[in-house]
Amino acid sequence: MTSQTELKAPTTKPPHATGYALLHNPRLNKGTAFTEAERRAWGIEGLLPPAVLPMELQVARRHDEIARLDNDLQKYLVLSDLQARNETLFYAVLMSDPATYMPLVYTPTVGEACQKFGHIFRQPRGIYLPISAKGRLKELLSHWPEKDVRFIVVTDGERILGLGDLGAGGMGIPLGKLALYTACAGVPPQYCLPIVLDVGTNTQSLLDDLLYLGVRQHRVRGDEYTAFVDEFVDAVETLYPKCCIQWEDFANFNAVPILARYRDKICTFNDDIQGTAGIALAGLLAALRLTGQKLTDQRFLFLGAGSAATGIAELVSLAMARDGADLAEARRRNALFDINGLLVTGRTDLADFQKPFAQDRTPVLTFVEAVKALRPTGIIGVSTVPKLFSREVIEAMASINERPIIFPYSNPTSRSECTAEEAYQWSDGRAIFASGSPFPPVEIAGRRFVPGQGNNVYIFPAMGMAVFTTEASRVTEEMFIVAAHAVAEQVSEENLSVGLIYPPQSHIFEASVHVAERIAAYIFDKGLARATRPKDISALIRAKVYRPAYSE
CATH code, domain carrying 215: 3.40.50.10380
Last residue of a domain, one of 266, 281, 301: 266
pLDDT exceeds cutoff 70 at 4: no
28 in a domain, yes or no? Answer: no
381 in a domain, yes or no? Answer: no
Q: What percent of the chain has pLDDT over 70?
A: 97
Q: Tens digit of pLDDT for each residue in 91-106?
A: 999 999 999 999 999 9
| In contact, 397 and 373? CB cutoff 8 Å | no
pLDDT exceeds cutoff 50 at 506: yes
**Cα–Cα distances in angstroms (integers) from residue 108 to residues 45, 455, 491, in the given order:** 41, 11, 24
Residues in the chain: 552
**Which residue among the candidates 30, 177, 191, 546 is catalytic per the annotation?**
177
pLDDT exceeds cutoff 90 at 162: no
pLDDT exceeds cutoff 70 at 265: yes
Residue 278 burial (CB < 10 Å; 0-12/13-18/19+)?
buried
pTM of the model as a whole: 0.92
Q: Is residue 502 annotated as a catalytic residue, yes or no? A: no
pLDDT exceeds cutoff 70 at 148: yes
Question: For residue 60, what pLDDT is reported?
Answer: 97
**Average confidence (pLDDT) over 365-386:** 96
| Parallel, antiparallel or unpaired: strands 334-338 and 244-247 | unpaired
Q: Is residue 177 annotated as a catalytic residue, yes or no? A: yes
In whole angstroms, what is the distance from residue 191 CA to residue 465 CA?
11
Residues in CB range of 465: below 8 A, 6 or more apart: 181, 185, 186, 187, 512, 513, 516, 520, 541, 544, 545
Q: Tens digit of pLDDT for each residue in 441-482?
A: 999 989 999 999 998 999 999 999 999 999 999 999 999 999
Question: For residue 5, what pLDDT is reported?
Answer: 40
Last residue of a domain, one of 266, 281, 308: 266
| In contact, 414 and 406? CB cutoff 8 Å | no
**Cα–Cα distances in angstroms (integers) from residue 371 to residues 343, 365, 393, in the given order:** 13, 11, 7
How many CA atoms does the CB half-sphere of 66 hold within 13 Å? 24
Question: For residue 156, what pLDDT is reported?
Answer: 98
**Which residue among the candidates 76, 101, 106, 181 is catalytic per the annotation?**
106
319 in a domain, yes or no? Answer: no
24 in a domain, yes or no? Answer: no
How high is the mean pLDDT of the chain?
95
Q: How many domains does the chain have?
A: 2
**Average confidence (pLDDT) over 268-272:** 96
235 in a domain, yes or no? Answer: yes
Q: Tens digit of pLDDT for each residue in 180-199?
A: 999 999 999 999 999 999 99
Question: For residue 11, what pLDDT is reported?
Answer: 54
Domain limits at 205? 98-266
Handedness of CA 87, 90, 92, 95 (dihedral sign): negative
Residue of 503, 519, 520 lying closest to 511 (CA atoms): 503
1 in a domain, yes or no? Answer: no
**Cα–Cα distances in angstroms (integers) from residue 263 to residues 160, 166, 193, 259, in the given order:** 22, 26, 20, 6
In whole angstroms, what is the distance from residue 370 CA to residue 398 CA?
14
User: What single DSSP character describes residue 164?
Assistant: B
386 in a domain, yes or no? Answer: no
Residues in CB range of 192: below 8 A, 6 or more apart: 149, 150, 151, 152, 153, 178, 181, 182
pLDDT exceeds cutoff 60 at 6: no
pLDDT exceeds cutoff 50 at 3: no
In whole angstroms, what is the distance from residue 516 CA to residue 509 CA?
10
Residue of 377, 375, 217 lying closest to 296 (CA atoms): 377
Last residue of a domain, one of 266, 299, 318: 266
pLDDT exceeds cutoff 70 at 10: no
Residue of 433, 277, 457, 309 lying closest to 382 (CA atoms): 309
The strand pairing partners of 342, in sequence order, are 337
Q: Taking the C-alpha atoms of 124, 130, 133 and 135 in order, what is their torsion angle to the nearest 10 degrees?
A: 120
What distance lies between CA 398 and its chain's CA centroid?
Answer: 31
Residues in CB range of 388: below 8 A, 6 or more apart: 303, 367, 381, 417, 418
Question: For residue 552, what pLDDT is reported?
Answer: 73
Lowest mean per-residue pLDDT among 1-15, 232-246, 352-366: 1-15
